[in-house]
Amino acid sequence: MSREGEPRGGRRPRGRAQRPADGAPRDPRGRPEEDRAARAERRDRRPARGGRSPIWSERAPGSRRPSVTREQIADQALALADADGLDAVSMRRVAAELGVGTMTLYHYVRTKDDLWALMGDRIMGELLVPAGELPLDDWRAAISAIARSSRQVFDRHPWVFSALEGGQLGPNGLRHFEQSLAAVASTGADAAGRLEIIALVDDFVFGHALRRAQDQQEQLDEVWLQAAEAYVTEQLETGEYPYIEALLGDGDRRATWDRLAELAHGSDRFEHGLEAMLDGIERRFIDGA
């Protein structure tokens, strides 16, 4: 004992923590559970570290009557992102929508990165063409079916590109890859060729969907269009843009511009682009093999 009668080292004897007057739930150290949730969310905002095992390699916590499931967590997060954007998705918000405590959610999902992984894999599940509807004897029809399904999913979830950045490969992602390999199996191309075909079609679908997502975010009102038309007209008069001037012609340039914009952003553009790409793939990888 020190001269002051306290334990050496300044340590106080351990004893039972007094129950707080507010009756709020506490962790083993006596701190409010909300503080624990806040600390966990601050940790999620830190840069992700490598070496962490994917969430799929760990079993979900067992319980006879689990409060929630990972599937319910992913579905609720998707609903929030669809309604309010990806920035609205947080562990606290998802937990509140599910009617559980934030720390309860962390029992099932360790970090926000894992939450995004669950969301991304749920999206990958939507990409799958239903069993029996993939024409495996016709590679063009099969890969086109996957491309159209992917486009529809990306149109429903335009925020998905941010969520999929650096995402973990989950069970639905594996199923999508397996289905894509099955779609191009009848091409007769070698392994490298089959992978390149899949990558080319994926790049086309991703690029088209990303452009559509950007177009939907742009709010082009009449005031903006008039100002843009006046600016373009002024620039054309300098004579520095002969090809644009030839494209627009001498008539009603606004009408011509609207017609060209419809061609560039019309509903048939995806199908025309997909067919053109598949024609090139067929000549290079199949007819030329």
Letter string b/e over residues 92-114, b meaning 16 or more CB atoms within 10 A of that residue's CB: eebbeebebbbbbbbebbbbbbb
Q: What is the pLDDT of residues 240-257, one digit of tens each?
A: 999 988 888 877 877 887
Helix runs in 91-170, H state only = 91-98, 102-108, 112-127, 139-156, 160-163
Place of tokens 């998705």: 89
- Average the pLDDT over each of 9-13, 123-127, 258-262, 272-276 and give the range with the smallest value: 9-13
Q: Would the pTM of this model clear 0.75, i.e. be above it?
A: no
Single-letter residue type at 79: A
Could you check whether 67-110 and 124-218+251-287 share the same CATH topology? no
Please tell us whether the domain made up of 124-218+251-287 is placed in CATH 3.40.50.150. Answer: no
- Quick check: 17 pLDDT over 90? no
154: exposed, middle or buried (Cβ count in 10 Å: 0-12, 13-18, 19+): buried
Residue 47: per-residue pLDDT: 41
Cβ neighbors of 248 (< 8 A, separation 6 or more) are: 236, 256, 257
Q: What ranges do the domains of the chain cover?
A: 67-110, 124-218+251-287
Tokens of 39: 């600390």
Amino acid identity at 276: A
Residue 140's identity, in one-letter code, is R
Reported as a single tens digit per residue, the pLDDT across 37-64 is 555 555 554 444 445 677 766 666 655 5
d(CA 151, CA 78): 17
pLDDT above 80 (res 270) = yes
Backbone conformation region of residue 166, classed left if phi is above 0, alpha if psi is from -120 to 50, else beta: left
Q: Which CATH architecture has domain 67-110?
A: Orthogonal Bundle (1.10)
